Amino acid sequence: MSRWLLPLTGVLASVLVLAPVYGQEPAVLPTFRSAVSLVSVSAVVKDSRGKPVRNLTRGDFQIFENGSHREIVDFGYSDQGPVSFGVLVDQSGSMALSSNLDGAREVIKHLLAWFDPANDEVALFAFDQTLTEVQGFTNDASVITNALPRLEAYGTTALYDAIASTAARLETRPNKRRAVIVVTDGLDTASSKTVRDVSGLASAIDVPVYVVVVMSPINHPVHGGAPTQTDGELMTTRLANLAYWTGGDMLIASTPAETSLAARQLVVDLRHQYLLAFESSTRSGWHQVDVRTRKPDLQVRARSGYIAQPPSTGA
pLDDT at 65: 97
Digitized pLDDT (tens) for each residue of the chain, 315 residues in all: 333 333 333 333 332 222 323 233 333 444 434 445 899 999 999 999 989 999 999 999 999 999 999 999 999 998 877 899 999 999 988 898 878 899 999 999 999 999 999 999 999 999 988 999 999 999 999 999 999 999 998 888 899 999 999 999 999 998 888 999 999 987 788 888 888 899 998 999 899 999 999 987 777 666 555 555 555 556 678 888 899 999 999 999 989 999 999 999 988 898 889 999 999 999 999 999 999 999 989 999 999 999 998 766 554
pLDDT at 174: 87
Residue at 227: amino acid letter: P
Which is it for strands 68-70 and 121-127: parallel, antiparallel or unpaired? unpaired
Could you tell me how far CA 139 lies from the centroid of its own chain? 21
Domains along the sequence of the chain with CATH? 1-78+272-315 (no CATH), 83-270 (3.40.50.410)
CA dihedral 222, 226, 231, 233 (to 10 degrees): 10
pLDDT at 233: 52
pLDDT at 69: 97
User: From residue 36, how far is each of 32, 68, 195, 292 by CA, in Å?
Assistant: 9, 19, 32, 24
